[in-house]
Amino acid sequence: MKLPMGSLMFALVIHQAAAHAQASAQPQPASQAPPPGQAQPADPSAAGAPLQQPAASADAQAQVDPTSHRHVGLFVRPDLGLGYLRASESVTGLSATVTGLAGVAGVALGAAIVENFVLAAHVFDAYTPSPSVSANGTSVPSPNSSVTLWGIGPEATYYIQPANLYVSGTVGITKMSISTNNVSASTDWGFGFRTAVGKEWWATDHWGLGVAANITFSTNPDPAANGTKPTLSTWTFGAAFSATYN
């Protein structure tokens, strides 16, 4: 049966209305609500709560060394350099002088009593191979000869900050020895000192590299064959590189 156009449109409207009513009557899917009795967590961004910050880096979390670049605690300082040695003595109207280039060295081991003030035990020496020898102003051959000065005693060092400059002084007992053609002779124990002025630059948290100028003096009784004991006086002027742990 053929329906007029108006009746077809009316039937279509009725069908769509019925379908819409049926869809509205179906239950909606449940939202993900918290179980009964449990409060729904608040949205941090909606509540204005600060967002969690990323974890700090490992470097930022590392503890800073409070003794870095400071002169506190254990102290170790070896040094090595070059200098000039002059030793002289007089006996029964005869004066003798020994001179020459010298290797100078030392090792200090101790600790800072207070910051920037160090007390240490210091061993130091000066060694001159093939020195020039003169007697009453006349040069004397000295083949296969060497002169050695060495000493040991307490050392005090004070650092001037922030320049990392230092002054140090050692007093102690000293001894001289002379070797000629593998035959050695030594003086008696005497008195001596070494003073130094230096500058250091930090290479790591606790190691500093530096340069220093030093002066060493030693006076020693020198037993002679005739039973006398003339005094041998020795001066050394040197410059050295150092490596300091503190």
Note the pLDDT tens digit of each residue in 67-117: 999 999 999 999 999 999 999 998 877 889 999 999 999 999 999 999 999
Judge whether 222 and 229 are in contact, CB under 8 Å: yes
Residue 11 covered by a domain = no
3-state class of 64 per DSSP? coil
Between residues 31 and 191, which one has the greater pLDDT?
A: 191
Q: How does pLDDT run across 186-233, given as a tens digit for each residue?
A: 999 999 999 999 999 999 999 999 999 999 999 999 987 667 789 999
What range defines the domain where residue 193 resides?
74-245
- The CATH number of whichever domain residue 81 belongs to comes to 2.40.160.20
- Least-confidence region, from 55-59, 144-148, 151-155: 55-59
Indicate whether 39 pLDDT > 50.
Answer: yes
pTM (2 d.p.): 0.72
Residue 199 covered by a domain = yes
Q: How does pLDDT run across 166-182, given as a tens digit for each residue?
A: 999 999 999 999 998 88
What is the count of structural domains for the chain?
Answer: 1
Residue 18 covered by a domain = no
Give pLDDT, residue 135.
Answer: 86
Helices vs strands, H then E, count in the chain: 3, 11
Residue 124 covered by a domain = yes
Residue 83 covered by a domain = yes
Distance between CA 155 and CA 34 in Å, rounded?
77
3-state class of 246 per DSSP? coil
Residue 135 covered by a domain = yes
